[in-house]
C-alpha cells in the first residue's frame, strides 16, 4: 500500500529526515488518525512522531490543513485500490457493483475517522478542496464508472453511456448512495439492528432495479 515504513527508507540508504520527510509525516498522521480515531492532534505531535522539530513540516506543507489533505488523498488511493481489487474476476456488472459496494462500506467502517476526514472535512477552504484530494476523489469515482459502462455493454443496465450527462448522473447517483450509506453506518445513524452487509445488499438491489427498467421518468 502507500504506507512505506521508515525501515524501507533507511534500507534505501536514504536518511529518514532528509530523504522523504513528507511521506513520513503523512504516514505518521495517518497512523495517528487510525489509532485515535480523531484528527484534532497537533501538527507538532506529528512532527514529534516523525522525530523532527516542530517546524520541519512547514518545509513540505504550507499549513496543517494541507498535510491533512495529503492524508485524505492517501485514503482515497487506498479506497480505490480496495474497490478495484473487489471487482476483479466478477461475472457480471451487477456482481461487480455489489462487491464494490461491500468493499467500499467496509473500508469506511474499518477506519471511520479517515473516511470522515476524506469527505466531511474542513479540508475545504472557501468551499474549495485542495487539488490533490480532489483529484484522488475523482479517481475513486472512475471505478464506479467502469462498472456502469460494463453493465451497459452487457445489457444489464439500461444506460446510454454515449450520453455523457446521463452517464455522469448515474455514476454520481450510485456513488452518492454508497457514500451516504457508509456515512450513516459509521455514524450509527442506521437506526436498525440489521447487519451492514444486509443493508448494502438491499441498497444495491434497489439501485440495480432503478438501472434496469426505464419507464417514463
Partner DNA sequence: ACCTGAACACCGTTCAAGT
Task: Give the interface with a copy of itself as residue ranges (CB under 8 A).
Answer: 37-40, 112-113, 116, 119-122, 124-129, 134, 137-138, 141, 164-166, 168-170, 172-173, 175-181, 183-184, 186-192, 194, 198-199, 201-203, 205-215, 217
What string of DSSP letters covers 121-171? -TT-BTTB--HHHHHHHHHHHHHHHHHHHHHHHHTSS---TTSHHHHHHHH
Give the Cα separation of 60 and 152 in Å (integer).
44
Q: Are 167 and 145 spatial neighbours (Cβ–Cβ below 8 Å)?
A: yes
Give the Cα separation of 200 and 187 in Å (integer).
15
Name the binder of 211 from a copy of itself, DNA, none, CB < 5-8 A by kind. Answer: a copy of itself
| Residue whose C-alpha cell is 532528509 | 18
**Residue 187 per-residue DSSP state:** T
Give the Cα separation of 204 and 199 in Å (integer).
9
Nearest in space to 174 (alpha carbons), one of 80, 72, 104: 104
Name the binder of 110 from DNA, a copy of itself, none, CB < 5-8 A by kind. Answer: none
Q: Is residue 125 close enough to count as binding DNA by CB under 7 A? A: no
Site for DNA in 41-80 (CB under 7 A): 42-45, 52-56, 58-60, 63-65
Name the binder of 104 from DNA, a copy of itself, none, CB < 5-8 A by kind. Answer: none
The residue (of 54 and 194) whose beta carbon lies closer to DNA is 54
Name the binder of 53 from DNA, a copy of itself, none, CB < 5-8 A by kind. Answer: DNA
Instruction: For 13, list phi and psi in degrees, rounded to 5.
Output: 85, 0
Name the binder of 186 from DNA, a copy of itself, none, CB < 5-8 A by kind. Answer: a copy of itself
Instruction: For 34, list phi and psi in degrees, rounded to 5.
Output: -60, -40
Which part of the chain contacts DNA (CB under 7 A), choosing from 38-46, 81-89, 118-126, 185-193? 38-46
The residue (of 22 and 139) whose beta carbon lies closer to DNA is 22
Minimum distance from CB of 125 to DNA (Å)?
10
> Which chain residues interact with DNA by CB under 7 A?
17-18, 21, 42-45, 52-56, 58-60, 63-65
Amino acid at each position: 500500500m502507500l504506507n512505506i515504513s521508515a525501515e524501507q527508507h533507511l534500507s534505501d540508504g536514504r536518511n529518514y529526515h532528509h530523504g522523504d520527510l513528507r511521506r513520513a509525516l503523512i504516514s505518521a498522521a495517518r497512523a495517528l488518525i487510525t489509532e485515535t480515531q480523531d484528527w484534532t492532534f497537533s501538527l507538532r505531535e506529528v512532527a514529534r512522531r516523525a522525530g523532527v522539530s516542530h517546524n520541519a513540516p512547514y518545509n513540505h506543507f504550507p499549513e496543517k490543513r494541507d498535510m491533512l489533505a495529503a492524508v485524505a488523498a492517501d485514503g482515497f488511493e487506498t479506497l480505490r485500490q480496495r474497490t478495484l481489487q473487489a471487482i476483479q474476476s466478477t461475472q457480471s456488472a451487477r456482481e461487480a457493483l455489489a462487491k464494490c459496494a461491500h468493499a467500499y462500506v467496509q473500508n469506511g467502517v474499518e477506519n471511520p475517522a479517515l473516511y470522515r476526514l476524506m469527505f466531511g472535512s474542513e479540508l475545504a477552504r472557501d468551499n474549495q478542496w485542495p487539488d490533490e484530494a480532489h483529484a484522488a476523489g475523482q479517481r475513486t469515482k472512475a471505478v464506479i464508472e467502469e462498472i456502469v459502462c460494463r453493465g451497459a455493454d452487457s445489457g444489464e443496465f439500461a444506460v446510454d453511456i454515449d450520453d455523457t450527462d446521463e452517464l455522469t448522473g448515474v455514476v454520481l447517483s450510485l456513488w452518492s448512495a454508497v457514500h451516504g450509506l457508509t456515512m450513516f453506518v459509521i455514524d450509527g445513524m442506521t437506526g436498525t439492528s440489521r447487519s451492514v452487509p444486509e443493508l448494502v445488499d438491499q441498497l444495491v438491489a434497489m439501485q440495480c432495479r432503478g438501472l434496469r427498467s426505464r419507464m417514463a421518468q
